[in-house]
Amino acid sequence: MTTFMDRFADRVTEVTTELANLDMPLTVPASPFTTDEYGWIDFTPEIDRSRLAWCTAVRMLTNHHQTPLARQILSADALLRELGVPGLATLHRDLVGAPIDYRFTPCPYCDGMGEDPTLPTCEQLGCRIPANIADHPHGCPVCRGESCEPDYYAERQMDEAEQLWADALAAKTPPRRSWRTLLHRR
């Protein structure tokens, strides 16, 4: 039986196997400090292509653009070099073309768990505080600890919208009919 955490290991294994088949290195060494002709200092950190964040970025890019992994390697390198793991949220937003609400959409990095999959979970550490509060030490750096619970949040938002509508109707004129009667007439 595959556990939730096994999916992350499977993602890394799948991508690193493809990289090995392409004879691509799993690490890109850091470049030393260099100065260009304008005096700017340039340093590129080491990129580890066997990390979950890199594998997630390259999978997001290949799935969105429907291209082979070999065409997205440099894009994933650049994303993580420039923005790090939180850059996956920016990539996700850019690929979708709209802001992402991680209460309704599973995070591509932690799959909606709300915790950083590379660190111990709240259960393993015995946290008394849930992960979806600010500054929790091991919340997901992409979705910031939001757990994907669309059923819970959708029902709550429908209740809030219903209450707002009832309040608006009550404030406008004294109701002669119930709002449900008005709905059935349409």
Per-residue pLDDT at 5 exceeds 90: no
Measured CA to CA, the distance from residue 44 to residue 82 in angstroms comes to 9
Model confidence over 124-167: pLDDT tens digits? 777 766 555 556 677 788 988 788 888 888 788 788 888 888 88
- CB proximity list for 70: less than 8 A, separation 6 or greater: 22, 24
Q: Give the mean pLDDT of the chain.
A: 81
**Which tens digit of pLDDT belongs to each residue from 68-112?**
999 999 999 989 988 889 899 999 999 999 889 888 889 999 888
Q: Considering only residues 39 and 60, tell me which one the structure prediction assigns the higher pLDDT.
A: 60
pLDDT of residue 54: 92
C-alpha 168/C-alpha 98 separation (Å) is 30
pLDDT at 173: 57
Confidence band (pLDDT; 50, 70, 90) for 7? confident
Mean per-residue pLDDT, 155-183:
73
> pTM of this prediction?
0.71
Tell me how far CA of residue 21 lies from CA of 7, 14, 61, 157, 185, in angstroms: 21, 11, 19, 48, 64
Q: Going by DSSP bridges, is the β-strand pair 27-28/41-44 parallel, antiparallel, or unpaired?
A: unpaired
The predicted pLDDT at position 185 comes to 53
Are 17 and 59 contacting, i.e. CB atoms less than 8 angstroms apart? no
**What is the C-alpha to C-alpha distance for residues 163 and 150, in angstroms, rounded to an integer?**
20
